Structure 1
Amino acid sequence: MPSTLPDADAPEPVSRRQLPPGIAPGPDGRPERRQATDAEARALASGLRLRILRLALDQPLTNREIAETLGLNPATVLHHVRTLVDTGFLEALEARRGRRGAREIPYRSTGKSWYVHTPVGSTPLLEAFLSELAAVPPEQHDMVRLGLRLPREELEEFRSRLDALIQEFHDRPRDPEAEPWSLFVALHPDTSRPRPRD
């Protein structure tokens, strides 16, 4: 799979924008994925922070706007926003005047989480996924669960083709007028069925 955080933060292709902070181009000019630093891994080890990255993916949002969307206290959200800014996953844009003339800073996802591997478990991803899914009417869920038995070479082919498909759609230009969709993919050993005997 392309990353342990494949759906967190995937903006328009790098060819149409600057590289995210801390991400270097590879020999082919495309960004290279790398291991997350300890600080980056800690920043991404939160379902709430992953949701913030998703919220600020297509349009910059202020701390107040993020807090209102999530139904949380702005002071609580600000701690998470600052953590994401400090680690380069969010960028602060030029301040603007908000309601009642208050100075507010909008934040935008940088796309960096797509390019870092993190050793954190799946819990933050699942938390973010389940929170977002809970807000979608059941008739709009398109889900499938599949049990496979694949020899090693076919499993590698499956992973490679799935990775290529996801990367292809990640790299396509984003249409700001199009309807937003979310994809969650998990491939894991199936512990509910007996393994073949040697």
Structure 2
Amino acid sequence: MTQPADADADDHAELDADARALASVLRLRILRLCLDEALTNREIAERLGRNPATVLHHVRTLVDRGFLAADPVRRGARGSREVPYRATRKSWRAPDFPGKWQLMAATFLEELHESDPATVRMTRLGVRLSAAERDELLARVDAFVEELAQRPPTPGGRPYSLLVAMHEDAARLPRPDALPDERPGR
């Protein structure tokens, strides 16, 4: 049974709205902060060094799209009413959208800039793989990352961020303008 055309349009509109909600370094940082700890708008703003009004706009967008959920209201300093928010992990299942990789890299770099250099471990490697080897590597990496994503947070554990990226190394590809005897490996 096929879906009516308007159902497809509705699905596309929902995915587009989710993509727009995620298309912000600040929003991705908010989601990461609220991943395993519910934080109020004020706490999020303090941790990110941002204006609380600006952060509230982004928090509301994430709540509206289901990426953040409000925990029960609590009393803050001086009896004020505070709403803590927690990430729903919906973003983990969000489909790709144009510019997603640039956004994720920019977010990671911003977080990396704030980290203690002694805690950073990074490796960069160039390899040549057949299509089957590439598929195997991606399947293994995806399985490992999925395992980590499903693992509950370790009580008292230290928070870490992980970025796994693989891209075709355009500079190492044979140049289309190279003569046959100038191509690498000939």
Give the TM-score normalised by structure 1: 0.78
Q: Percent identity?
A: 55
Aligned equivalents of 1:113, 1:176: Cα separation in 2:
23
Aligned equivalents of 1:161, 1:135: Cα separation in 2:
30
* 1:41 alignment partner AA: A
**Could you tell me which of 38, 47, 57 is aligned with 1:79?**
57
Aligned equivalents of 1:45, 1:63: Cα separation in 2:
19
Are 2:145 and 1:152 aligned? no
Aligned equivalents of 1:79, 1:173: Cα separation in 2:
29
How many residues were matched structurally? 165
Are 2:105 and 1:111 aligned? no
Q: State the match for 1:67 in structure 2.
A: 45
Are 2:172 and 1:193 aligned? yes
Aligned pairs for 1:1-150 (under 5 A) are 37-121=15-99, 122-150=101-129
Q: State the match for 2:5 in structure 1.
A: none
Aligned equivalents of 1:47, 1:106: Cα separation in 2:
21
Aligned equivalents of 2:135, 2:93: Cα separation in 1:
21
* 2:66 alignment partner AA: G
Aligned equivalents of 2:39, 2:59: Cα separation in 1:
11
> Unaligned stretches of 5+ in structure 2?
1-10, 176-182
Shift of 1:137: 2.2
Are 2:160 and 1:181 aligned? yes
Q: State the structure with bigger RCO (CA 8 A, min sep 6), 1 or 2.
A: 1
Give the TM-score normalised by structure 2: 0.83
* 2:33 alignment partner AA: L
* Higher fraction of helix: 2
Question: Cα deviations across residues 70-121 of structure 1 (Å, max 9, x unaligned)?
Answer: 1111000000000000000000121111122111111000010111213131
Larger radius of gyration between Structure 1 and Structure 2: 2
> Unaligned stretches of 5+ in structure 1?
1-33
